[in-house]
Amino acid sequence: MAMLKASKGTPTGTERAVVINDIKLLAQADIENEIDGFVTSDSEGRKLYDALKKNITLSFEYVDIKTPCDEQFGYLPLHGSPAD
């Protein structure tokens, strides 16, 4: 996270300012062992996540709720029918 603070700006390709709370939330998600996903509706925040991931190994996945489940997680087979 210090990488972003040192650059004093936004990751390449972003048009919005990096909100300090975004950095704090991503840092907390990375250090908490129980967290394996960061779920959000902020599609623009993905750029910040991707910029971090290029430079460090993150311990969680960024999940945009606007992305359909089959795209995010792959095909989830249904076993049996509801009547079973």
Q: Which helix (H) or strand (E) holds 49?
A: helix 45-55
Per residue in 64-82, pLDDT (tens digit) is 999 888 888 887 666 665 5
Per residue in 4-54, pLDDT (tens digit) is 555 555 555 555 566 778 888 999 999 999 999 999 988 888 888 999 999
Nearest to 40 by CA among 52, 29, 55: 29
pTM score, whole prediction:
0.63
What is the predicted pLDDT for the residue at 81?
A: 55
What is the predicted pLDDT for the residue at 68?
A: 86
Which residues have CB under 8 Å from 24's CB, separation 6+? none
Per residue in 42-58, pLDDT (tens digit) is 888 888 899 999 999 99
d(CA 70, CA 84): 24
